[in-house]
Amino acid sequence: MSLPFLPFSRPTIDEETIAAVGEVLRSGWITSGPKVQAFEAALSAYFGGRPVRTFNSGTCTMEIALRIAGIGPGDEVITTPISWVATANVIIEVGATPVFADIDPVTRNIDLDQVEAAITPRTKAIIPVYLSGLPVDMDRLYAIAAKHKLRVVEDAAQAFGSLWKGQRIGSFGDFVSFSFQANKNLTTAEGGCLVLNNEDEARLAEKYRLQGVTRSGLDGIDVDVLGGKYNMTDVTAAIGLGQMKVIDQVNAHRKALAEHYFRCFGPDFEAQTGAQLPQPAFETSNWHLFQIILPDQGPGTRARFMERMKAEHNIGLGYHYAPIHLFTMYRERGFKEGMFPVSEKIGRLTVTLPMFYAMTLADVERSVAAVKAVLAS
């Protein structure tokens, strides 16, 4: 194999950040402390001054948002089948019932017409997902939420730095959840944050994050809600602070890579191959992922494609995502094939091409040439 392995994602941590992590490790204070506070302040500034709290994942963020909203047994929460399974698992985790709405074949995000059709008197919240960093129609989303008095927990795990009409995702809206898992545009290795509406919600988030504890004075302590153990450490917050310094550069570079992808695929690629490119959403997306839908060649289409991309071109692809409703645990709750046909088709044929900060335009050219070669033979 002459060319080096090209993965679909790879984190970049600069030397300054590595040094900052070393300082924390030598400081005598390695768990939640001043770095977490500084990271939360930086995030709050990034999101227009809204309250922000950090956590050890972008999963517990959503679970805690649902708990703050008082959602539990008997309540329905509407979400998309095409997401990381965490998005639906948190609904079950709080005792509520997941209800799926199919996706739009062009944006691959939850179809807001289908959301409206799925609303019942038990519906309490919507969890939209901004797949690959592409927001849904945010005006329509919040109009639906207002009309039906629903809470929104935005799964913006992939959308750090994405925009809607020039405003950052997270700087407006209801609860907005981000993930800092290793593949995300901004990473802390593992971690997440939740943007909240007010200081009361932020205080409740702090309780759910740490065993329900409230401290007062030098030795005052009480517990009045059932919390868990979800706090971020200063070690990972130091990574986040380093990443905050370069995030705008990172997202600008991803955008340049995405533009080059479109240039290299060219205007005839879809007509010639039957494959489908993503939306050219250069005003909104942070280009977290670059996903194409393969032309359908029956069962095993994607596995064969991924195998050849690896064997013949040394390129590692991902797939985001398999439809959640067809997992065993969800089938056991009554979901089955045929319920969400667009999700089922896209879930079977979507592949994620390489897209990360350390990639070059030449890597994009290599990736596109490989896709074209595999599809042509």
For ligand PLP, the binding residues (CB under 6 A) are 57-59, 83-84, 86-87, 129, 155, 157-158, 179, 181, 192
For this structure, is 184 an active site residue?
yes
Pick between residue 86 and residue 258 the one whose CB is nearest to ligand PLP. 86
Minimum distance, C-beta of residue 320 to ligand PLP, in the bound complex (Å): 7
Q: Say if residue 27 is exposed, middle or buried (CB neighbours under 10 Å; 0-12, 13-18, 19+).
A: middle
The Cα–Cα gap between 294 and 348 comes to: 9
Minimum distance, C-beta of residue 288 to ligand PLP, in the bound complex (Å): 8
Q: Which amino acid is at 140?
A: R
Pick between residue 99 and residue 368 the one whose CB is nearest to ligand PLP. 99
Pick between residue 238 and residue 370 the one whose CB is nearest to ligand PLP. 238
Pick between residue 253 and residue 320 the one whose CB is nearest to ligand PLP. 320
Minimum distance, C-beta of residue 373 to ligand PLP, in the bound complex (Å): 30
Instruction: Indicate the DSSP class of residue 109.
Output: S
Minimum distance, C-beta of residue 236 to ligand PLP, in the bound complex (Å): 11
The Cα–Cα gap between 298 and 195 comes to: 43
Q: Say if residue 301 is exposed, middle or buried (CB neighbours under 10 Å; 0-12, 13-18, 19+).
A: middle
Strands 290-293 and 220-223, bridge-based pairing: unpaired
Minimum distance, C-beta of residue 111 to ligand PLP, in the bound complex (Å): 17
CA dist 194 → 201, 268, 337 (Å): 10, 42, 34
Q: One of 184, 207, 245, 372 is an active-site residue; which one?
A: 184
Nearby residues of 154 by Cβ (< 8 Å), 6 or more positions away: 127, 128, 130, 169, 170, 173, 174, 175, 176, 177
Cis peptide before 330 (omega within 30 of 0): no
Active site residues: 184
